[in-house]
Amino acid sequence: MSPDARNAWFRTLGQLALVLVAGLGIGLLIGQPWPALTVAALGVVAWHYWKLRHVLLRLTARQRLQPPQGVGVWNELDRLLFRSQSEMRARKRRLLSMLRAYRAAAAALPDAVVVVERNNQRVLWFNEAATPLLGLHFPQHQDASIVTTLQPLPMASWLAAGRNAEPMTDVASPVNPDLRLNLRLIPYSDELWLLVARDVTRTMRLEHMRRDFVANVSHELRTPLTVVHGYLEMLDPADNPDWAPMLAEMQRQSQRMTQLVEDLLTLSRLEARETLPEEHVAMAPMLSTLRREAEALSQGKHRITVGDEAGVDLWGSNKELHSAFSNLVANAVRYTPAGGEIAVRFAVDAGGGATLSVRDSGYGIPAAHLPRITERFYRVSTSRSRESGGTGLGLAIVKHVLGLHGARLEIASEVGKGSTFACRFNPDRVHARESHPIAATSP
């Protein structure tokens, strides 16, 4: 108890004692001590009840309390109530101003922010940017279904994926097809989800310009390179034996440039595509082709094995998958010293998917390089890569092709022991093969 409250308490006890003593004194004077004491006690009780009623009335009226004056336990109670009411009001004001500041910040964001109720998929709140980007208007779309409001975006299936929903990238805005958006779903509580839409029109335009520029430059370089290459081929080193080493180097470099241009064109073509043809990719002939290519590149310097254990085929693009797989096989041959081993294996996974893996016993890749190895022109050892005739674009092409097939590239490698590049396909890319699997091995 605070000193003030203790003082008020003792003062009230003193008053009570005073009233009772006064009552008893008057009673003794008139010769009726007990009835007089009872009347005094009843008076005290009545006064306290009256004060209690007063407090209750003021609390139920929810009116603002006045700062109390006076002493005594009831005034002390009034003072405490007044203090807690003032504190509560100050806290409420602080919270309200914080809430307003948050709302103002969210409203001013250039990204569209929509709070969605998870269970009934209704719009609870949205900021100003949601109007130009997603076409949400206040108050029509407050409480509206997000699925119907944002048609034709596939919101139903996206929301159904919940926490596993992958961000939607580069999709057209439902109100303006010229606007390109990136959408993200952030489940920030059990009941409420945040949908964030970002305008990426400018970024996408720049990306298209970059892609077109690379494609155009590569295309323009193709013809002069073919001409230079053609004339170099026509020059006979026997005419001038001194020039022979120079001619050979020029031919090698023009060959490399031609390959570079071809790879750049392949990458641009892949980047411009959103989907690929859904063809039946027969894996038995694909594996035989890979083996032939590996043997041609290796020229008998490696032990090459090809295992077809899956007994299934894939859905996808024959041409692009072949280009990806043969890039991996070519790398395995190029980055494995003579006498090494190269194993290509196609097998089904436990989950129903399928994996094509290319394992070699070559130089291996230090772990620090693995995260960046699929970037264009990223090389572990520039000199070794140049010697091997690589362009630095092979793995970037592989990654793109696999991405278009919804597959992923897994790389495991140990320096000095070798590397394994595994292309993992989801079950929806796999389908049964009519003929029986063959196990093909070359000596």
Min dist CB 220 to ligand ADP, Å, is 23
Per-residue mark of binding to ligand ADP, 98-137 (x: CB under 6 A): ----------------------------------------
Applying CB under 6 A, what is the total number of residues that bind ligand ADP?
21
Of 261 and 312, the one with the shorter C-beta distance to ligand ADP is 261
Q: Which residue has the tokens 């990204």?
A: 111
Indicate the burial class of 93 (C-beta count within 10 angstroms; 0-12, 13-18, 19 or more).
exposed
- Residue 326 to residue 318: CA distance in whole angstroms: 12
Mind giving me the DSSP string for 195-257? EEEEE-HHHHHHHHHHHHHHHHHHHHHHHHHHHHHHHHHH--GGG-GGGHHHHHHHHHHHHHH
Residue 314: closest CA among 341, 349, 269, 266: 349
State the first-to-last Cα distance of the chain, in angstroms, to the nearest integer. 95
Sequence-distant (6+) residues with CB within 8 A of 399 are 374, 409
State which of residues 126, 419, 422, 429 lies at the interface with ligand ADP (CB under 6 A).
Answer: 419
* 354-413 binders of ligand ADP (CB under 6 A): 360, 362-365, 373, 379-381, 385, 390-396
Of 82 and 378, the one with the shorter C-beta distance to ligand ADP is 378
Read off φ and ψ for residue 316, nearest 5 degrees.
Answer: 160, -160
Indicate the burial class of 356 (C-beta count within 10 angstroms; 0-12, 13-18, 19 or more).
buried
Residue 124: closest CA among 133, 134, 132, 116: 116
Of 130 and 365, the one with the shorter C-beta distance to ligand ADP is 365
The kind and range of the H/E element at 66 are none
Min dist CB 379 to ligand ADP, Å, is 4
Of 130 and 401, the one with the shorter C-beta distance to ligand ADP is 401
Q: What DSSP character marks residue 68?
A: P
Of 182 and 381, the one with the shorter C-beta distance to ligand ADP is 381
Of 181 and 393, the one with the shorter C-beta distance to ligand ADP is 393
Min dist CB 256 to ligand ADP, Å, is 10
* 244-283 binders of ligand ADP (CB under 6 A): none
The reply to whether 340 sits near ligand ADP by the rule CB under 6 A is no
- Residue 314 to residue 430: CA distance in whole angstroms: 5
Min dist CB 403 to ligand ADP, Å, is 15
Min dist CB 215 to ligand ADP, Å, is 19
- Residue 65 to residue 83: CA distance in whole angstroms: 9
Min dist CB 281 to ligand ADP, Å, is 22
Min dist CB 408 to ligand ADP, Å, is 16
Of 152 and 416, the one with the shorter C-beta distance to ligand ADP is 416
Of 363 and 425, the one with the shorter C-beta distance to ligand ADP is 363
* 313-332 binders of ligand ADP (CB under 6 A): 331-332
Of 12 and 419, the one with the shorter C-beta distance to ligand ADP is 419
- Residue 396 to residue 267: CA distance in whole angstroms: 8
Q: Assign residue 339 a region: left if phi > 0, alpha if psi is -120 to 50, beta otherwise?
A: left
State which of residues 325, 335, 346, 425 lies at the interface with ligand ADP (CB under 6 A).
Answer: 335
Residues that bind ligand ADP (CB under 6 A): 331-332, 335, 360, 362-365, 373, 379-381, 385, 390-396, 419
